[in-house]
Structure 1
Amino acid sequence: MNFKGFILLLLFFNFYLASAQRNTIDIKGVVLDEATDEPLEYATLVLQNLDNPGVVNGGITDASGKFNIKTSPGNYIIRVEYISYKPYVLEKQNLQSSIDLGAITLTIDTEALDEVTIIGEKTTVELRLDKKIYNIGKDLTVGGANISDVLNNVPSVAVDVDGTISLRGNENVRILINGKPSALVGFGSSDILQQLPADAIERVEVITSPSARYDAEGTAGILNIILRKEKTLGLNGSINTNIGYPTASQITTNFNLRSDKFNIFNTLGYFYREPPGSAFFDNSYTNGTYTRIIEERDVSRENLGFNVNLGMEYYLTKKSSLTGSIFARFSDEHETTENNSQRFAQNDINDITLRNEDQSEDDKSYQASLNYTNNFNDEGHQLTADFQYGYNKEEVITTIDENIIIPDNQLLSEEAVFETETQNEFLLQTDYVLPIGDKQFEAGYRGDFEKEVTVYQLDTLNLNTGEFEINQDLTNQFNYTENINALYSQYGDKTGKLSFLFGLRLENTRLKGEVISEYDADALQELLGEDVDLNFDKNYLGLFPTVNLIYELAEDENISLGYNRRINRPRGFFINPFSSRSSVINIFQGNPDLDPAYANAFDLGYLKRWEKLTLTSSIYYQRETNSFEVIQEETGQTTADGIFIIRSIPVNLSTNKRYGAELGILYNPSRKIRFNWSFNLFKFVSDGIFNDVDYGTENTSWFSRFSSNIRLPGEIQWQTNANYRGPRKNSQTKYDGIFFLDLAFSKDILSEKASVTLNVRDLLNSRKRLLSTETDFFTSEGELQRRERQITLSFIYRINQKKERNGRQKQNNEEEEGF
């Protein structure tokens, strides 16, 4: 389209919008809490046209509880809703001219079966039968941040310095996007979450006791990330830009166009970052040429990426809709690591080497999804069907050269590594919900079919000829297939003060691996063990029951009990038997003999709510069999200059028992002050033997988080987040505690149409991993900092939107999981 054509199209669009505004009337009013007469901000007003029930209009209240909705004259049902309040309904209203409905008062609904909500303008947490919901609308410290930064502010969740996500101290967490596996998560890696903007998220659901509707993957539980999809009629959206130091810039746009027949939603994002990193290791060896090696690493990165999400929901009838969306993500990452090593023979420096590693990674992800929803009635009788296809491709080129710089300057080795990983995934899912009075029955099917192909080529420089030669032994292709078919059913009811949800899920898992390589099979077999099948085809059938109970001790007090059985399936990276080349002396090798791990988990919770304070607490226990553990051992091989090569490999240990307790307090002393504190204490005990070595261990650790939000003079908001993760260990490695502090200041401008936020993450630059490893053959002391202190200035401009203050808008039915 040329420029003139674009101008004509823009003029036509403006004319269309102007024409639509001519024959309209205004519906005004104010929504108040009946008990306190305080205004209810973000209450929802719905106008349903009786002459054409498929036509729905509406809006939300402002900070004073007021609304002013424009609509066409006609016959309407007027409905006012607010989470945890009984709806207000006016039937058969003939509206031919503008009208002021005056004060509409709402009362708290204490009999709501499907949720227990922490009520209060300042709160950000909601509790349900099977999950906690964290709304991020008021969290200032996510300005200019990514999804990983958001997760690090979520209660019960911790994100380590290298991006590893854990739930209650357990790293086996299932990540879902809008309730489903997604291309956004890539190959099961949390690295992708560091590339996506935080302002694309509406809420995060922490599901520690998943109902049978969810797949059974993830022994720690599920983190379900819900992306934004605007529900207000008309054209609205936002533009968010930020710049930061170290170099970081980002722009994200969210736009939504909703009419009576369709809803179009779109998110575009672009980022560019240069996050520096560093590491230090002091290694001592009992055997080999060198007794000690000190490594100092400097890491420089240059990362840029673009993502787009475009979708449309079309209302087929007043009860059914069809939603289609496409997602694409492109990123280009370049990382350079300089590793300076001082190598000692006894107590004297023998030589100093410099290893340069230059890595370029090109990632592409695509996803297309289609959803059909049919709401048979307003009581929750519903049928949904989903189809999703995802494609990921990662291409990595790494060049590695190592030189002796003292005493003589000479080249030791030079390598080029070419890696390509592709993933194709199909998802089929259908869910049926049938309310029977106060009861609810649900059943469904999910099929998840995934194939990964990893191609690895290693070229080594021949120092004699000066030519690169393909290493036929280590060049390989690994094909991995994972097919899962599942059926589930669950039933919920409320008897007196007791609400319950019982469910059962049947899952069949097929894991298939195929190695294509010219590698010496006998040598590889000897390294892994005689019982390991390099080309495997495994089939597992399992039942996964779930129980969730809530008993209301009083209107503002309850106890809950949850039980569920979960599975942890090994991913392709953990199974691929060919080693990585990120380090010449420390390699990672997958284990094709890995079997799934299974866990039984219990959770007992207590909730008490006062006028200004809310207390949540729970104790939990989990027993996992065949649990995974990454152990380090000698390979029996050495480098060309006599350094013993150490291998890290995941293995199935026998059991892992985890005990824990967590406590959370939300305190709102006034409308201008909000405090949020959480504490989690846990202990795990594991035992198991691999290659005649006992790797059993036990550890007690804890982490805590404190957040305050204070409104300063001049309507400036000040938020502080303080995090501490206590010391922890496994069978071979100890990790020191980590403390880090985030600050943010925000100011609304342009009549609240825009906001400016100054955000400092890791104010003290203390988010570093300190670790020590001790085995029979070597010891190591290390320090790792993946990302330094980040200062970000953000500007967001809202188009036909009010600022999100508390995220209490009621969610669409299709987004609500569980009962």
Structure 2
Amino acid sequence: MTPSKKSFVIALLCSGLFLLLPNYSSAQSNSVTIIGKLIDQESKQAIPYASVVLNNKQSKAIITGVTSDDSGNFSLTTTATNYEMTISYLGYTSITITEFTIVNNTINLKTIHLYPDNEALDEVVITGEVSKTVFKLDKRVFNVGKDISSTGVSALEVLNNVPSVNVNIEGQVSLRGSTGVQILINGKPSVLADQSSNALGSITADMIESIEVITNPSAKYDAEGTSGILNIILKKEEKKGLNGSVSINTGTPDNHSIGISLNRRTEKFNLFSQIGAGYRSLPQENESINTDLINNTTIFSTGTEYRNEAFYNLTLGTDYHINDYNVITLSGNFAYEVEDQPSRTNYSSYDENDALISEWFREETTDATNPKWQYELNYKKEFENNEDQVLLFSAIGSFFGKDQASEFNNTTISGTNANNDQQTETIFQQADFTFKIDYTHPFTEKITLETGAQYVINDVGNDYEVRDFTAGTFVRNDSLTNNFEYNQKVFGAYGTGAYEGNKWGVKVGLRIESTDLNTLLTNTNASNSQNYHNYFPTFHTSYQLSETLSVQAGYSKRIFRPRLWDLNPFFNIRNNFNVRTGNPNLQAEFSDSYELTSIFMVGKASMSTSLYYRYTTDVIERVSSFADNVNTTTPENIGTNGATGIEINGKYSPTNWISFTGDLNYNYFNREGDFELQSFDFSGDRWSSTLGTKIGLPAAIDFEITGNHQSNYKTVQGNVKGYVYADVGLRKKLLNGKAVINLGVLDLFRSRVSESYTLQPTFEVYNHGLRGRFVTLGFSYGFGKGEAMTYSGKRR
């Protein structure tokens, strides 16, 4: 894309935003503010969190609404002229006000008395709205009813009630068994949806209107997809007041943190913040066996790698409600990490007679600092005559840096001297920018058009130097040193059209993306440029056979672009007999995905079954080469892969104290391709399953156990061994749920072992890795309307 085209795109995105600004001021000038205070007629006490709704007098459609604060006060603003107000609260007689007196653009209703009504309370309990799932074209919508919204639980607890979604005790969200889920708030990314913190704990059930579940995204979303999208739709009448929580955690291996989350809602502003700090260590046990089948020599290596981190995190943000139809969100996050990586690897070398030749060990000392920050601007505009007509603009920027120095010292135990001391130094900087605009326009109740554009910039520099100890001094190794520059720009535009009837609907879309990728090794002046344009069509349809059974079908074309570390040809020399490097000539892989899904719901059980077929070209595989007992793995594009599979997931809650969830994914794949005159044609199968149980015990104690299984499967040069592991959790609620104690054990039996075999005519490589058992203990206290949630301090 030329500079002039880039400028035009950015100007187009920005001008679409600013052309609408005059509409704001005119709307505000005609607005009226209505204020009042609610009290109990008998006790004379204030009534907090009562519903105050403004309706159109003729159509009875909701114009706007709020809830009273802790002192019973409420305030709302409207530009409408023909309205009535309804005030309601559980256990009280609702009242409707139709006459108003305006003084200086303000209606002061002063003190309003509500009368207790026991009969009304009983009626609400019996006929209260129950949460249910509605099937749409390319998504499922879980509408939050009074059975959940009145419980005061957090957004994570609400997610756990959604079919196909599971949230474990630690707060990790998975969709159809996969944890690569993107969470949106009102259709846009948000600091509040960040799974690396407990920010979702400040959103309570009574603030949520619905949750959209998207497993096969349409052309509206990036062609480089995730495992799914969860979109949390908040009610317009969000609760005002101060919400928040404070958490303290500890664990073994070291996993210590403290965090504070705050959320303050007023009439115009929603302010949210979080601050946290902690220390963690991530040890991993490794074992490798490299065998040269020509010379019959073998290298054994075993050791433990550590990644110790002290981390600090600060998040600030605000939603500013300009008026009933316009909201601006500005947020930022800053994090700082200090790393220490003390590791040791033991080596032993054997000849063709299995006789020991030498023994030595390699010790690593690594120190690094990692500054990170992210900032985000979102603007959302709704339209007065159609609440589903929405314009959304967002601009996101982020930065990650690393300044790292490592030293590797070798010590000979016996035999041949293994004097290969080395030093490395890395200066890494990555800046990413995303500009996006989306527009949704319903022409009728059944026909909707969506359109928008996105521009993404990724700019990375990695200056990496290796020095060998030679003749009493460290000398730069030019063959391993590189300064790698990576710059990628992706422009995308899309359009979708949908028809949705009472039982049947169809949605078609097309996304166009233009990719401009440039890499440069400055020390050798080796460059690589890739410029390509692609079309990504999508098709979705659904049919509701009955109230309990629906069928959905979908097609989408997807892309996977090589990441920085796939392209950067630097050598990781931590274990200098098992080296990983990148490939700057790597191409993107493309997939055609077809999916047929049935969703069946009966009573308290739900089950989703999907048949799918995915065909991928230019598949990226890591390929091993072998020389002098050194195994080097490099990503390469190798042929095609066709996978046919079935995915089944279900959820069953026979009572309110026990629930079961299960996921099963099986696929048969056919690989075709060749590389350097070697054929990689083969076929095989692969499956995974998860079974979880949650039990509510007496004394407000929740118990959870989840079992996971991953099968063996073939690779282009060998195979990967399967494993089974279990996670357990225990949670005790105190002070009516305001305080929580969490105990979690990950990989209870230390059985989550990563094992792979590379089996070739001239060499064999065996790799074994184990993270081990992790135990965590946390205490959290929530105040205001906030739930007590654990600040996880997960890696961002």
**TM-score, structure 2 as length reference:** 0.80
Tell me, in whole angstroms, the C-alpha distance in 1 between the residues paired with 2:192 and 2:460: 16
Tell me, in whole angstroms, the C-alpha distance in 1 between the residues paired with 2:434 and 2:387: 28
Are 2:380 and 1:355 equivalent residues in the alignment? no
* Aligned residues: CA RMSD: 3.7
Judge conservation of contact 2:726–2:746 (CA < 8 Å) in 1. yes
How much has 1:801 moved relative to structure 2?
Answer: 2.1
Cα 1:72–1:279 change in 2 (3 A) is closer
Tell me, in whole angstroms, the C-alpha distance in 1 between the residues paired with 2:622 and 2:482: 23
Judge conservation of contact 2:371–2:402 (CA < 8 Å) in 1. yes
SS in 2 for 1:751: helix
Tell me, in whole angstroms, the C-alpha distance in 2 between the residues paired with 1:81 and 1:271: 43
Are 2:162 and 1:155 equivalent residues in the alignment? no
How much has 1:705 moved relative to structure 2?
Answer: 0.8
Tell me, in whole angstroms, the C-alpha distance in 2 between the residues paired with 1:182 and 1:481: 26
Matching of residues 288-367 of structure 1 within 5 Å: 291-346=297-352, 347-367=354-374
How much has 1:412 moved relative to structure 2?
Answer: 0.9
Which residue in 1 is equivalent to 2:647? 662
How much has 1:574 moved relative to structure 2?
Answer: 1.2
Amino acid at match of 1:718: F
Which residue in 2 is equivalent to 1:760? 745
Which residue in 2 is equivalent to 1:619? 611
How much has 1:211 moved relative to structure 2?
Answer: 1.1
Which residue in 2 is equivalent to 1:448? 456
Judge conservation of contact 1:207–1:221 (CA < 8 Å) in 2. no
Judge conservation of contact 1:54–1:261 (CA < 8 Å) in 2. no
Tell me, in whole angstroms, the C-alpha distance in 1 between the residues paired with 2:759 and 2:650: 39
Of 474, 487, 501 in structure 1, the residue corresponding to residue 480 of structure 2 is: 474
SS in 1 for 2:748: coil
Which residue in 2 is equivalent to 1:25? 38
Cα 1:695–1:750 change in 2 (3 A) is same
Tell me, in whole angstroms, the C-alpha distance in 1 between the residues paired with 2:380 and 2:699: 47
SS in 1 for 2:316: strand
Tell me, in whole angstroms, the C-alpha distance in 1 between the residues paired with 2:314 and 2:582: 34
How much has 1:457 moved relative to structure 2?
Answer: 0.9
Are 2:718 and 1:733 equivalent residues in the alignment? yes
Are 2:668 and 1:683 equivalent residues in the alignment? yes
Judge conservation of contact 1:753–1:801 (CA < 8 Å) in 2. no
How much has 1:311 moved relative to structure 2?
Answer: 0.5
Tell me, in whole angstroms, the C-alpha distance in 2 between the residues paired with 1:237 and 1:73: 23
Cα 1:630–1:80 change in 2 (3 A) is farther
Amino acid at match of 2:331: S
Matching of residues 44-443 of structure 1 within 5 Å: 45=51, 47=53, 57-58=66-67, 70-72=72-74, 77-78=85-86, 92=98, 96-100=111-115, 102-103=120-121, 104=124, 105-107=127-129, 113=136, 115-117=140-142, 124=159, 134=165, 136=167, 139-142=168-171, 150=172, 153-157=174-178, 207-218=214-225, 221-222=227-228, 231-287=238-294, 291-346=297-352, 347-377=354-384, 378-407=386-415, 410=417, 412-438=419-445, 439-443=447-451
Judge conservation of contact 1:544–1:566 (CA < 8 Å) in 2. yes
Cα 1:401–1:654 change in 2 (3 A) is same
Q: Give unmatched runs, 5+ long, in structure 1.
A: 1-21, 29-42, 61-67, 83-87, 143-149, 159-164, 166-173, 186-191, 522-533, 637-642, 806-819
Tell me, in whole angstroms, the C-alpha distance in 2 between the residues paired with 1:776 and 1:80: 77
Deviates more, 1:506-515 or 1:794-803: 794-803
Cα 1:240–1:500 change in 2 (3 A) is farther
Are 2:490 and 1:484 equivalent residues in the alignment? yes
Deviates more, 1:203-212 or 1:687-696: 203-212
How much has 1:606 moved relative to structure 2?
Answer: 0.7
How much has 1:573 moved relative to structure 2?
Answer: 1.4
Amino acid at match of 1:343: S
How much has 1:110 moved relative to structure 2?
Answer: 8.3
Deviates more, 1:706-715 or 1:443-452: 706-715
Judge conservation of contact 1:210–1:221 (CA < 8 Å) in 2. no
SS in 2 for 1:584: coil
Tell me, in whole angstroms, the C-alpha distance in 2 between the residues paired with 1:570 and 1:383: 32
**TM-score, structure 1 as length reference:** 0.78
How much has 1:396 moved relative to structure 2?
Answer: 2.2
How much has 1:263 moved relative to structure 2?
Answer: 0.7
Are 2:735 and 1:750 equivalent residues in the alignment? yes
Of 600, 617, 625 in structure 1, the residue corresponding to residue 592 of structure 2 is: 600
Deviates more, 1:451-460 or 1:240-249: 240-249
Tell me, in whole angstroms, the C-alpha distance in 2 between the residues paired with 1:352 and 1:111: 65
Tell me, in whole angstroms, the C-alpha distance in 1 between the residues paired with 2:232 and 2:322: 24
Tell me, in whole angstroms, the C-alpha distance in 2 between the residues paired with 1:283 and 1:564: 42
SS in 2 for 1:578: coil
Judge conservation of contact 2:244–2:786 (CA < 8 Å) in 1. no
Which residue in 1 is equivalent to 2:776? 792
How much has 1:278 moved relative to structure 2?
Answer: 0.7
Which residue in 2 is equivalent to 1:571? 563
Cα 1:626–1:411 change in 2 (3 A) is closer
Q: Give unmatched runs, 5+ long, in structure 2.
A: 1-34, 42-48, 77-82, 101-108, 149-156, 790-796
Judge conservation of contact 2:164–2:651 (CA < 8 Å) in 1. no
How much has 1:199 moved relative to structure 2?
Answer: 6.4
SS in 2 for 1:380: strand
Judge conservation of contact 1:673–1:708 (CA < 8 Å) in 2. yes
How much has 1:404 moved relative to structure 2?
Answer: 1.9
Tell me, in whole angstroms, the C-alpha distance in 2 between the residues paired with 1:367 and 1:554: 46
Judge conservation of contact 2:251–2:777 (CA < 8 Å) in 1. yes
Amino acid at match of 2:701: I
Tell me, in whole angstroms, the C-alpha distance in 2 between the residues paired with 1:266 and 1:693: 56
Are 2:550 and 1:537 equivalent residues in the alignment? no
How much has 1:720 moved relative to structure 2?
Answer: 1.1
Amino acid at match of 2:142: T
1:323-378 Cα distance to aligned partner (Å, 9 max, x none)? 10111121122122211111101211111111112222322211111111111135
How much has 1:771 moved relative to structure 2?
Answer: 2.1
How much has 1:24 moved relative to structure 2?
Answer: 3.2
How much has 1:321 moved relative to structure 2?
Answer: 1.3
Tell me, in whole angstroms, the C-alpha distance in 2 between the residues paired with 1:93 and 1:710: 52
How much has 1:76 moved relative to structure 2?
Answer: 6.8
Which residue in 2 is equivalent to 1:708? 693
Are 2:695 and 1:695 equivalent residues in the alignment? no
Tell me, in whole angstroms, the C-alpha distance in 2 between the residues paired with 1:397 and 1:89: 70
Cα 1:398–1:80 change in 2 (3 A) is farther
Tell me, in whole angstroms, the C-alpha distance in 1 between the residues paired with 2:785 and 2:361: 55
Tell me, in whole angstroms, the C-alpha distance in 1 between the residues paired with 2:272 and 2:56: 27
Judge conservation of contact 2:468–2:475 (CA < 8 Å) in 1. yes
Tell me, in whole angstroms, the C-alpha distance in 2 between the residues paired with 1:400 and 1:257: 50
Aligned length: 696
Tell me, in whole angstroms, the C-alpha distance in 1 between the residues paired with 2:457 and 2:40: 50
Deviates more, 1:297-306 or 1:72-81: 72-81
1:574-609 Cα distance to aligned partner (Å, 9 max, x none)? 112333323322222222221211111011111111
How much has 1:124 moved relative to structure 2?
Answer: 4.3
Identity over aligned residues, as a percent? 24
Cα 1:802–1:217 change in 2 (3 A) is closer
SS in 2 for 1:574: helix
Tell me, in whole angstroms, the C-alpha distance in 2 between the residues paired with 1:399 and 1:283: 24
Tell me, in whole angstroms, the C-alpha distance in 2 between the residues paired with 1:535 and 1:721: 48
Deviates more, 1:693-702 or 1:257-266: 693-702
Tell me, in whole angstroms, the C-alpha distance in 1 between the residues paired with 2:706 and 2:50: 31
Amino acid at match of 1:403: T
Judge conservation of contact 2:586–2:637 (CA < 8 Å) in 1. yes
Of 754, 760, 770 in structure 2, the residue corresponding to residue 775 of structure 1 is: 760
How much has 1:198 moved relative to structure 2?
Answer: 8.8
1:744-800 Cα distance to aligned partner (Å, 9 max, x none)? 121211232211122122111211112222112221233201x22122221110111
Cα 1:175–1:70 change in 2 (3 A) is closer
Amino acid at match of 2:405: I
